[in-house]
Amino acid sequence: DNPSQNETNANETNADNSAQNDSEPVAEKPKEETFGLNETAVFDNIKVTAVDLDETKGESYNTADDGKTFVGVKFEIENVSEETQSISTMLLFTPYADDIKCDESFFGESAFGDDSLGGELSPGKKMVGWYAVEIPEDWQKLELEVKSDWLSDNKAKFVFEK
């Protein structure tokens, strides 16, 4: 049996299915679930929620290149562990625009405001900020793979469609 799509624990693996009487062994692999706006991925150490999605060309000196736009996702990250967590979008987030890998845009993030994601997060505390990419104006789908720890294989995929 496959886990239901409504489960939100991104750390679960297929180990729960090991009691099945299948004749073929089930390969263990990291579990990846898909989330959207206002949905929360729950890891052992952090909760990650996408709370807003916006698009802008920027303004004054801080503009997207011709034919491109800044797309920003505002996230709330909560430390649900007993230890301080280091949050680094460069290590924990991998963006794809229409299935093509792209990069985080610090200019794009500043176009959405001064709230950035990153730094030390004490137990029980939250941080809220923007993660942005600069992608073609005709984008259709933005995917952000988010890991709870840069060494972890467990990830949640946030998917946003234009």
pLDDT tens by residue, 24-81: 444 444 466 899 999 999 999 999 999 999 999 998 888 999 999 999 999 999 999 9
Provide the strand spans (E) within the chain.
Answer: 32-35, 40-42, 46-56, 58-59, 62-63, 68-79, 85-88, 93-97, 100-101, 118-121, 126-136, 141-147, 155-161
* pLDDT-derived band at 113, boundaries 50, 70, 90: confident
Its pTM stands at 0.80
Rounded mean pLDDT of 140-149? 96
User: What does the pLDDT read at residue 19?
Assistant: 44
Whole-number Å distance between alpha carbons of 55 and 108: 9
139 vs 152, more confident:
139
